[in-house]
């Protein structure tokens, strides 16, 4: 591995890090195109070795005192916080995030660790009544075993930590595969932090690679459950593979989230939130506002406000300059975003602002007069684009909001709380906010989507028990009983 020359806490770890023995892969900074590091990708044998190490280490970890498991997670928070500037630099350079987005992600990553540290000391079962006298009956949560965690590039630290921290806290071992674009913020950082925190060997194993490595994790016989976060297309494939093998699988997938502005909304607040939810991090967020559904009476003013805000956003290298937006992650995604914009304009949408780019830097774009047949409406864009459609009645707004196969997040703006809530409650999405925008998360909340946004799984809070443990019924009798058999 070739790491950049500098002195840091992570560099000695990176210099010795060998997460794979396969073909070398060069990671480049999206903002500059400069090489960041070159790493050997994992092979199928590397995945098998990682899973075997995990399955060997897991039973002793599950039997480790809750005091010790919690202490390791608390130490991990301290180590993470002590080196967060360095981790943040990697996040920015690997993903093209501006400072504000990177700091948000770091705060959430620390929160995931802090919340996970409370899990080992929680009650893990119940005493049950028994139909048979003299029998003690209990139900308890036991670890799933080995969790295969597959994560995307766009928020590598928090999306990894929301799996790794609760999975470990509840007695599992983990094989973690970040996206090849983010091997450090999504992978090396985890191993380095948990090693320093005293996590025993074999419990957290990072492998680097793309779809083939991900599929090797899903199908490895030692991997008991898969936690996948990424696109709906890849999630379907992961779901098929896991389903055939009867493995537990959590799928947290794409979104095309409705942002509804009723006629009585505070328009300044709604436009400011709408611009944030569509443009921040170049729109490369699963719960970005994908479809702005705006009452006809205020739509022209709303579009003007989005245009004005889009015009003021500064684009540039987020690691080296004070900017509001960075680059799109790569050429392929840029072409996808631009293609959706072009085809929507060809289909009759009006380009109110943007629609151009210099290199990977795509200008924040507002499309007005969008119809439900255009790709800007039907597709998850994953770029800084705000498509706006209009409606006349709340029922129409609802029909539009629910006109999507996705169902991740939603937002409704209204000065009437009861009206906003009435609309919000009928939006088919796993998360919905009244007078707040769609990009919202807290480690204690069950996060997840409906429809093509997932398979019903959730991350966070009480949902972590469902994801990372399984029920076991245990009974104990004072005396063994005899059976009148044959009858």
Provide the mask over 156-175, with x wherever binding to ligand NAD is found by CB under 6 A and - wherever it is not.
Answer: ---x----------------
- Strand pairing partners for 459? 447
The answer to whether the bond into 486 is cis (omega within 30° of 0) is yes
**C-beta closer to ligand NAD: residue 47 or 267:** 47
For residue 122, the tally of other CB atoms under 10 A from its CB is 12
Smaller CB distance to ligand NAD: residue 150 or 315? 150
**Candidates 252, 321, 331, 396; catalytic one:** 252
Q: Distances in Å between the alpha carbon of 393 and those of 254, 294, 413? A: 28, 10, 14
Distance CA 129, CA 126 (A): 10
Contact between 254 and ligand NAD per CB under 6 A: yes
Comparing CB distances to ligand NAD, the nearer of 218 and 273 is: 218
Distance of CA 335 to the CA centre of its chain: 23
Residue 286 is among the residues annotated as catalytic for this protein:
yes
Cβ 161 to ligand NAD, closest distance in Å? 13
Q: Give the C-alpha separation, 62 to 50, whole Å.
A: 18
**Whether 155 contacts 182, CB under 8 Å:** no
Decide if residue 84 touches ligand NAD (CB under 6 A). no
User: In angstroms, what is the minimal distance from the CB of 52 to ligand NAD?
Assistant: 19
How far is CA 422 from each of CA 32, 97, 239, 355, 396, rounded to the nearest angstrom?
47, 36, 34, 35, 14
**Among 143, 148, 187, 255, which residue sits at the site for ligand NAD (rule: CB under 6 A)?**
255
Q: Which residue is nearest to ligand NAD (CB)?
A: 214
Task: Return the structure tokens found at 478.
Answer: 């004072």
Interior angle at CA 282, CA 114 and CA 277, nearest 5: 65
- The full length of the chain comes to 487
**Which of 69/162 has CB closer to ligand NAD?**
162
- Does the footprint of ligand NAD cover residue 22 (CB under 6 A)? no
Using rule CB under 6 A, residue 377 touches ligand NAD: no
Question: How far is Cα 291 from Cα 380, in angstroms, rounded to an integer?
Answer: 9
Residue from 145, 152, 156, 420 in contact with ligand NAD (CB under 6 A): 152
CB of 40 to ligand NAD, least distance (A): 16
Binding of ligand NAD by 185 (CB under 6 A): no
Stretch that binds ligand NAD, among 206-214, 320-328, 335-343, 415-423 (CB under 6 A): 206-214
Question: Could you confirm whether 395 is annotated as catalytic?
Answer: no
Does 225 contact ligand NAD by CB under 6 A?
no
**187 near ligand NAD, judged by CB under 6 A:** no
Q: 469-477 and 135-143: which strand pairing?
A: antiparallel
Residue 475 three-state SS = strand
* Phi, psi for residue 358 in degrees, rounded to 5: -120, 115
Residue 179 in contact with ligand NAD, rule: CB under 6 A: yes
Q: Is 211 in the site for ligand NAD (CB under 6 A)?
A: yes
Instruction: Please select the residue that binds ligand NAD; options are 184, 193, 203, 253, rule is CB under 6 A.
Output: 253
Interface region with ligand NAD, contact rule CB under 6 A, candidates 58-66, 132-140, 188-196, 233-241: 233-241
User: Does 229 interact with ligand NAD (rule: CB under 6 A)?
Assistant: yes
Distance of alpha carbon 397 from alpha carbon 110, whole angstroms: 38
Q: Note every long-range contact of 309-315, with CB atoms under 8 Å and residues 24 or more positions apart, other chains counting.
A: 309/271, 309/272, 309/275, 309/279, 309/364, 310/275, 310/279, 310/353, 310/354, 310/363, 310/364, 310/365, 310/366, 310/386, 311/353, 313/279, 313/364, 315/358, 315/361, 315/363
290 lines the binding site for ligand NAD (CB under 6 A): no
286 makes contact with ligand NAD (CB under 6 A):
yes
| 210 touches ligand NAD (CB under 6 A) | yes
Using the minimum distance from each CB to ligand NAD, give the nearer residue, 15 or 211: 211
Backbone angles phi, psi at 125, to 5 degrees: 175, -170
Q: Is 150 in the site for ligand NAD (CB under 6 A)?
A: yes
Within a 13 Å sphere around the CA of 28, how many CA atoms are in the beta-carbon half?
A: 11
Taking the least distance from each CB to ligand NAD, the nearer of 310 and 409 is 409
Which of 41, 92, 115, 151 touches ligand NAD (CB under 6 A)? 151
Cα separation of 188 and 203, whole Å?
14
Binding mask 106-145 for ligand NAD (x = CB under 6 A): ----------------------------------------
Contacts of 475 (CB under 8 A, 6+ apart): 130, 135, 136, 137, 138
Given the residues 286, 321, 358, 395, select the one marked as catalytic. 286
Distance, CA of 221 to CA of 217 (rounded, Å): 9
Decide whether 237 or 248 has the Cβ nearer to ligand NAD.
Answer: 237
Q: Is 440 in the site for ligand NAD (CB under 6 A)?
A: no
By the rule CB under 6 A, 236 interacts with ligand NAD: no
Told to check if 42 binds ligand NAD by CB under 6 A, we report: no
153 binds ligand NAD (CB under 6 A): yes
State the alpha helices, DSSP H only, in 313-381: 331-346, 375-378
Residues that bind ligand NAD (CB under 6 A): 150-154, 159, 177, 179, 210-211, 214-215, 218, 229-231, 234, 237-238, 252-255, 286, 380, 382, 408, 449, 453
**Would you name the residues annotated as active-site residues?**
252, 286
């Amino acid at each position: 591995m070739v790491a950049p020359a500098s002195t840091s806490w992570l560099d000695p770890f990176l210099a010795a890090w060998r997460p794979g023995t396969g073909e070398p892969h060069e990671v480049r900074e999206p903002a500059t195109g400069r090489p960041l590091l070159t790493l050997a990708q994992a092979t199928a044998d590397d995945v098998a070795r990682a899973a075997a190490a995990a399955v060997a280490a897991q039973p002793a970890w599950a039997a480790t005192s809750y005091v010790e498991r919690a202490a390791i997670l608390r130490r991990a928070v301290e180590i993470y916080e002590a080196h967060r500037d360095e981790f943040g630099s990697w996040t920015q350079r690997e993903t093209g995030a501006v400072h504000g987005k990177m700091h948000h992600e770091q705060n959430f990553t620390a929160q995931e660790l802090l919340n996970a540290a409370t899990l080992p000391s929680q009650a893990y079962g119940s005493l049950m009544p028994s139909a048979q006298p003299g029998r003690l009956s209990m139900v308890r949560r036991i670890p799933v075993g080995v969790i295969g965690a597959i994560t995307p590039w766009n928020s590598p630290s928090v999306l990894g930590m929301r799996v790794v921290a609760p999975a470990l806290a509840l007695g599992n071992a983990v094989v973690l595969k970040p996206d090849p674009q983010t091997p450090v913020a999504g992978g090396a950082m985890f191993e380095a932090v948990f090693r320093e925190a005293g996590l025993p060997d074999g419990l957290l194993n990072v492998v680097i690679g793309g779809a083939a490595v991900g599929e090797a994790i899903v199908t490895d016989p030692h991997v008991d459950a898969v936690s996948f976060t990424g696109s709906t297309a890849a999630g379907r494939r992961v779901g098929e593979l896991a389903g055939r093998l009867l493995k537990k699988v959590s799928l947290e997938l794409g979104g095309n989230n409705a942002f509804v502005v009723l006629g009585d909304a505070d328009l300044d607040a709604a436009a400011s939130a709408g611009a944030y939810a569509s443009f921040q991090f170049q729109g490369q967020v699963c719960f970005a506002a994908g479809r702005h559904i705006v009452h006809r009476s205020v739509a022209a003013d709303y579009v003007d406000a989005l245009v004005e805000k889009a015009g003021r956003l500064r684009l540039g290298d987020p690691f080296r300059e004070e900017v509001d937006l960075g680059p799109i992650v790569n050429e392929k995604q840029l072409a996808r975003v631009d293609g959706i914009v072009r085809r929507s304009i060809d289909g009759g949408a009006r380009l109110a602002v943007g629609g151009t780019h210099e290199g990977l830097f795509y200008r924040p774009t507002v499309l007005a007069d969008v119809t439900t047949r255009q790709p800007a409406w039907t597709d998850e864009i994953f770029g800084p684009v705000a498509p706006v459609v209009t409606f006349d009645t709340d029922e129409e707004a609802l029909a539009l909001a629910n006109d999507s196969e996705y169902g991740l997040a939603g937002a409704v703006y209204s000065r009437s709380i009861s009206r906003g809530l009435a609309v919000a409650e009928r939006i088919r999405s796993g998360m919905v906010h009244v007078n707040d925008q769609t990009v919202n998360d807290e480690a204690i909340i069950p996060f997840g989507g409906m429809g093509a946004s997932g398979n019903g799984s959730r991350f966070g809070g009480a949902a972590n028990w469902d994801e990372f443990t399984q029920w076991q019924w245990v009974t104990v009798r004072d005396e063994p009983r005899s059976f009148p058999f044959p009858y």
